[in-house]
Structure 1
C-alpha cells in the first residue's frame, strides 16, 4: 500500500461470509439425513436437531461479543491511504480459506445422520443462522454509532479469518457510506434510476 496505507475488510462482511454456506450445507445435510432412519429414528433426530439448531444459533450469535464491542469502542478513523476491500473479495477470501472446513463439517453432518437423523445438519444450519444474527448485531451497532467497522486484512489472514481473534489489535472506522456493503455486511441497495 502506498504511503503506509492498509488493506481493510469490513468486520460484518467477514462475520457474515460463513453464514450462507453453513446454512445451505446444513439444510442439505438435514434434508438428506431425514431419508436415513438412523439409530434413534427420524422423530427423535428432528427434535434433537431443532434443539441443537436453537442452541447453536444462540451460542454463535453471542460468543466474543465483548471482544467485538471493545474493539469497536477503540476503533481509530481509517486513513486516506487505507484501501477498502470490496464485499465480494472479502467473502471470496473467507470462503476460499475455509472451504475444506466447510466440506468436513458437511460430511460430518451427513455421517451423523446414521445415528441421529437430520441433527447434524440442523446444528450446521444453526451455526449459519448464528453468524447472520451476529452480523445483524454488528450492523445495528454500526448504525447507532454512524460508523462502519473495518479490520486490517493482514491481521485477518494471520488470525485464520476471525475478525475478533488475538492477532486483531484494533478496528478502523469510516463513515456509514463507505464501501459497497450496508451496515451488517449485506449488499448495499442501489437507488432505482428514475
Structure 2
C-alpha cells in the first residue's frame, strides 16, 4: 500500500484524537480533522473545490429536516398535555384487562411514540405519568421502569420515525413512504407481544 494513501488517514485520526484530548467539541473535531485530511490528500485547488462541494451537498437534503420537526412536535404535544390524554385513552381501551396499568403503559408509549417519532420523548412523557400510578397500585419500580423502557422504542417502528428516515438516507434512496408503510405491522405486533408478556 502506498504511503500517500495512509498519510491522510493518519492525519484524520491523529488530529481527531488530539482535538478530543484537548477538549474541542466533537462537532468541530470531526469537521476540522476531515478538513485537514482532505487538504493533505488532494492538491490545494481540488481540496477547496471538494470541501465547498461537500458542505453544500450536506445542506441540500430536505429529508433530514423532518427529524428536528418530529422532536419539536413531540415536545409541543408533551407541553400541551397530550401525553396525559393518551394515557387516559389507553386506560379506557385496556383498563379492564388484568395488569391494566402495564398494558396502559405499553399502549400509551406506542401511541405517543407513533405521534412524536422519538423514543426518548415517549419514555419521558409516559413514564413520568405512569410510573407513580403503577407504584401506587403496588407495581415494583423495577417492573414499571422495565415496561416503560421496553415499550418506548416501539414508536420508532411506527411512523413517523426518525430511524426510518435516517435509514432511507443511509441506504441510498429507499422510499421513506414505503418504509413508513412497512413499519405499521411490526410495531403493532411488537406492542401486542409485549402486552402478552406483561400480563
Q: What TM-score comes out, normalization by structure 1 length? A: 0.26
Q: Greater relative contact order (Cα 8 A, min sep 6): structure 1 or 2?
A: 1
Determine which structure has more spread, i.e. the larger CA radius of gyration: 2
> Hey, which of these two has a bigger chunk of strand by percent?
1
